Chain A
Amino acid sequence: SQTIHQWPATLVQPVGSPLSLECTVEGTSNPNLYWYRQAAGRGLQLLFYSVGIGQISSEVPQNLSASRPQDRQFILSSKKLLLSDSGFYLCAWGQDEQFFGPGTRLTVL
């Protein structure tokens, strides 16, 4: 069966520091992968999606970037965090139905 992992679970970072969040999927190959952000427990905003290694599409202009160095690995990064980057970050895989990882709660102080 497929599983999706995200780490870390929580993160507190100062403004201006770099960020790297990792997501890996097991039990499937060539999955579509997605990064979402959720603010204040409300709806999810799609940040990036990838249909294959090295292929990244960005949905909204922002301070973040994404990379897919391996088939089942998706990384969300920032060179310098802003206060507005705080939120709950979710990785997902799938096409019709999407299945979500456990999420990373990021607080930027």
Chain B
Amino acid sequence: EDKVVQSPLSLVVHEGDTVTLNCSYEVTNFRSLLWYKQEKKAPTFLFMLTSSGIEKKSGRLSSILDKKELSSILNITATQTGDSAIYLCSERTSYGKLTFGQGTILTVHP
């Protein structure tokens, strides 16, 4: 069975800190890896990664995939209180099914 593992499970930082969230996956039929941010309700899409070594960036957030290590990281620089959320990593397989990790709960204190 495919498994997606995220670490750490929770993280508390102060505004201005830089954080790195980790995601590892075990898959025999990998298609892509996706990151989502979930605040109070529905997860919102952040990044989709399909190629190894190519960084995707959106403002202070960036992410990269390492297919050799079967892992991905999500970096957030100069964190703000609005970055507090659950960050979900998921791996896409056949039929577009997504397998999610447990999530990392990020808390940013002012």
A-side residues, CB < 8 A to B, are 32, 34, 36, 41-46, 49, 51, 57, 59, 90, 94-103
Contact = CB atoms under 8 A, between A and B. Distances in A.
Interface of A is mostly: strand
Contact of A95 (B88, B96, B99): B96
B42 A96 contact: no
Contact of B96 (A44, A59, A98): A98
Interface string B83-98: 0001010101001111
Contacts of B86: 41-42
Interface of B: 4, 6, 31-32, 34, 41-45, 48, 86, 88, 90, 92, 95-103, 105
B87 to A, nearest CB: 11
A49 B41 contact: no
Given A96-B96, A97-B34, A98-B96, A42 B102 contact: yes
B69 to A, nearest CB: 21
Contacts of B100: 36, 43-45
A49 B42 contact: no
B96 A43 contact: no
B97 A94 contact: no
Given A44-B88, A44-B100, A57-B95, 15 more contacts: A32-B96, A34-B97, A36-B100, A41-B103, A43-B100, A43-B103, A45-B100, A46-B97, A46-B98, A51-B95, A96-B48, A97-B48, A98-B96, A102-B42, A103-B41
B88 A101 contact: no
A90 B42 contact: yes
